[in-house]
Copies of this chain bind each other. A is one copy, B any other.
Amino acid sequence: MRNLSVNGDRLWRSLMETAAIGGTPKGGIKRLTLTEEDRAVRDWLARECRTLNCAMIVDEVGNMFFTRPGTDPALKPIAIGSHLDTQPTGGKFDGILGVLAGLEILRTLNESRYTTRHPLMLVNWTNEEGARFSPAMLGSGVHAGVFDRRYADTRIARDGQALGDALEAIGYRGDAAAGSTKMAAMLELHIEQGPVLEAQGKDIGIVEGVQSMRWYDLVIEGVEAHAGPTPMPLRKDALVAAAELVLLVECIANSHAPGVGTVGCLEVHPNSRNVVPGRVELSIDLRHPEDDQLDVMEAELRREIGARLGDRFAIGLTENWRSPAVKFDPRCVEAVAEGAAAAGYSSIRIHSGAGHDSAYIARVAPTAMIFVPCLGGLSHNEAESATKEQCLAGAQTLLNAVLRLDHLE
């Protein structure tokens, strides 16, 4: 295992070059899944990989796989990559860094004439963002058997186009059956999309898994009344109850760190200045790295809602969605940790609070992720920002981790 160095300048040039494909005046990218912009960046990636002599396979949902052969044809490939699609006002790094760092690794290995034991495979997953076609992480989900191909094909964009038709339209409906491309492991480099690394001054987040997440919808029914003539003791103000609930969610999350809890949506009815609110609808988002701790948080939420509000308000709490905790493969996680240490980068162990393609891939292959900081934790925003040095640190850690995994079996 040689000591190889990725080229941070070359990686940065690729980031900036592709950022022009769908680039926005504010410095972000609008490159929605399976649009002409997506076709253009896919074509760009295919051209680059062709010059590196990496063969392309496209599967039936448009996932792109570029393979650099290894020395042992009996071994399955080690996959690296992420996604090239963006939010409508997305940034230059979310997903893209993971793909282009993978490309940079292929280039580095080629110019170093280094051949891994395993084949090395660069991946671009289709529709990670879920912005044009819902749900998110669709390509990796089909690959992992979470969704079937027909389900994916029939997702309809707001503009009316079905995903299957969009694949045909841009020429990225491939022949390979989804999931037929087996992997020895998958490593994904990504910006953190959160503020922890920056706040702690660390270069690398060694991602141990994805938090367990649950979404709830809550309806609080009080009694609508005129704000003037209704004395305080005679009110059943649904917004006052909702305020108690917002603080309850905050309190539960604070007492179960590193769990988090968020009321993101809240609608007041009738939402009139001089009417005591009669009904409030709100969303609750609870997350924790451990499923059983999230069970405890949920039980506390249900118990306290009943105890504090149940006798005065009609409360309807329904679970809207749940996603269990994902535990990444320990060997992959250690490869990332050693890879960061070998390059002299500071690091912490972290859980992803957001979903990623790797959360689905972890169901079918040993998987881990690498986080690098982004400015202010900001993402899904045209102002999303990471430095050349941060991108380099992530790519170098990724290369080091790949080389370690390559020698583990």
Contact = CB atoms under 8 A, between A and B. Distances in A.
Interface in A254-274: 254, 257-258, 260-268, 271-274
A1 interface: no
B211 A232 contact: no
A354 interface: yes
Nearest to A216: B273
Contacts of A230: 194-195, 260, 353, 377
Number of copies: 2
Given A194-B230, A196-B231, A226-B193, A264 B271 contact: yes
B228 A354 contact: yes
A353 B246 contact: no
A274 B268 contact: no
Interface stretch (A63-71, A170-178, A234-242): A234-242
Interface stretch (A13-21, A275-283, A330-338): A275-283
Contacts of A247: 240, 243-244, 247
Contacts of A271: 264-267
B285 A263 contact: no
A313 to B, nearest CB: 14
A353 B229 contact: yes
Interface in A333-374: 352-355
A26 to B, nearest CB: 16
A118 interface: no
Contacts of A276: 262, 264
A215 interface: yes
Nearest to A240: B250
A261 B239 CA distance: 12
Contacts of A227: 260, 262, 264, 285, 287, 353
A388 interface: no
Contacts of A379: 226
A93 to B, nearest CB: 14
23 contacts: A194-B226, A194-B229, A196-B234, A211-B228, A213-B228, A227-B264, A227-B285, A228-B285, A228-B352, A228-B354, A229-B377, A230-B260, A230-B353, A232-B261, A237-B262, A239-B246, A243-B243, A243-B247, A247-B247, A262-B276, A264-B271, A264-B277, A266-B266
Given A227-B264, A229-B352, A262-B274, 8 more contacts: A195-B225, A196-B229, A196-B234, A199-B234, A226-B379, A229-B353, A232-B253, A240-B250
